[in-house]
Structure 1
Amino acid sequence: MPRHDLHDFFEQASAEMAAEYQRIRKKHKNDHGTAGDEGEENWAELLSRWLPAGYHVVTKGQIMGSDGSTSPQIDILVLSSAYPPFLTTKRMWLADGVIAAFECKNTLKATHLIEAAKTAAAVRKLTTQQEGTPYDELLGTPLYGVLAHAHSWESDDTEVVETIEKALQSGMNAAAHPRDLLDLVCVANLSTWWAARIPWLGEGPSLNVEGLPPKPPGPGLVWQRVGEYNPEQPDGAVVSSLNRHTGGASPLLSMMTTLLRRLAWHDPQLQPIARTFESVDPTRGGGPCRNWNPDVYSDHTWRAITQNRIDGLDWTPWAAMLM
């Protein structure tokens, strides 16, 4: 199969990002604030180039919940195409109109990921939490991620990946609910990690029962590889994982594939484009995982899951894998 042009376009973008990183480091060596601002503009420009018309990419602002509470300052936000035009000039963004939010780091450190995981959970508390399907209950809004030009470690790539995944696992382990997790981490000169939730690991037909199955007491948490089901751990109902793209594509292509896929959940018109990106950069890889018990679900959704409601269709709120 011939090489797709998308690979070339994003390799060019990767080269530009690397050149900008070196320029920023050289020009603003002792001015971290200006360096950070310029790095954010690099990412905002990339997103603006590739997101469909109608999505607003903005920088620097706080997310505000319906009760008036606010988030810490966020570096980059992607606003819904339905966002009121008048409010796009403000620096206080309505939580339920924010599709994606990103922290930007010129040089990533492990502490950045651990702190970002905490901020992701705080931001999710500002949005209206929906119930009724696994998608509504396992995926928080907005999508929350970290974008970095490069990293701070001088080790080889394998060791750096292990260090990053250790930090990601720490953040996942501290989360109170799957919807609070980081969704996306992109290090432009290394790799991209994306979050997935598998809503049920058991065999659906064997779970049909009358009435609502009791939810086990306590956290019932087990760490295991994504897709593995241990029958000796019946509390396991959901696996969340942060998977690293390992197909050799540009991390920027993998980042945009992940973002378009998530946007397509909300905007069906994007699904054909998202499918094209996925065909060029197929989902693959493995990373930190966590097993959750059924307490993460409402009673209504848990009942439906045990009645074999999960399906294999893409972009449905009952899909076998949500990301």
Structure 2
Amino acid sequence: MLAAPAFAGPGHDHGDAPAAASSNGPQRLPDGSVFLPKPAQRQLGVRTVLAERGQHPRSIELDGRVVMDPQSGGRVQALVAGRVQAGPRGLPEPGQAVRKGEVLAWVQPAAPPLERASQAAQLAELRAAQQLAEKRVARLRALSDTIPRKDIEAAESEAASARERAQAIGAGLSGRDPLVAPVSGVLASSAVVAGQVVDARETLFEIVDPQRLRIEALAYDPALPADIAGASVAVGGTRVPLRFIGAARSLREQALPLSFGAQADALASLAVGQPLRVQVHSRSTVEAIAVPQSAVMKNAANQAIVWVKTQPEHFAPRPVTVAPLDGVRVAVTSGLQPGERVATQGAALINQVR
């Protein structure tokens, strides 16, 4: 009964917080801050980072898309018009790995009936001429003692010529044009089914290397390519650096296409033609605080805010000015001070507390 009262340690005394002592759940306080007890923080998975000011490159966000790398990807096109036949392993499906030189399918050439009949008649004449030439060679060899050697060699050459011409025409009548993979990779698209009739130069398969892709962005400022120091793109929660290859010399839709190269395991989740937001870094820098993009929320006035942990169970909204950085992080140029703890994970749930 005579026990002395216990006091909480520094920073953990919640007796002065209005309306917090009478409630055990999260709630929005009259000043706009949020009271969030420790158990609720663990349930919501709230995590914070320490704000640190530094020099970061000025970045510009451009619209881009994923395109095929011409050095590691390729297209398979039909050389002749005809009917598609399955390859040794059947018709390949999108997503299937293929090897360079592998036969994906065959094209049975299609020719008009009159043309095929003419070729068949010519083949029959050549085979008859071949038989006559071979018989003449046999007779001349039997009389080799009285026949000059040059006559025998001329007959042998005539027989060989007829045989090769017959073989060439026969292969054209019964042969198939193989569709061979030009590179090793993964089948990005397939536009054929068994028995389909295709035209010459029609694209049937596209092969890409999922770990080596190109990113194409559109810039509306012609002076931008001369000030590019680097670029990056966000793939999920991973920042993938890009290598600037060059800018085109012709406009497309009133914009200048910029080409970037990328090589990373995270690119395997991208598809050719997928739209992206490309962060292009200039050579100039700006002093700002880098925070994860998930930390930036919108308030009721549609202002960009971050939630700062002012006390162990209190979070206050801070209107900030942000600029793009690398796709995963943003640069806070005003509204946040170094040393403050910013909520990153669970910030969206804190923003929804009423």
TM-score range, shorter chain: under 0.3
Q: Judging by fraction of residues, say which structure has more helix.
A: 1
The normalised TM-score by structure 1 is 0.19
**Structure in which a larger fraction of residues adopt strand:** 2
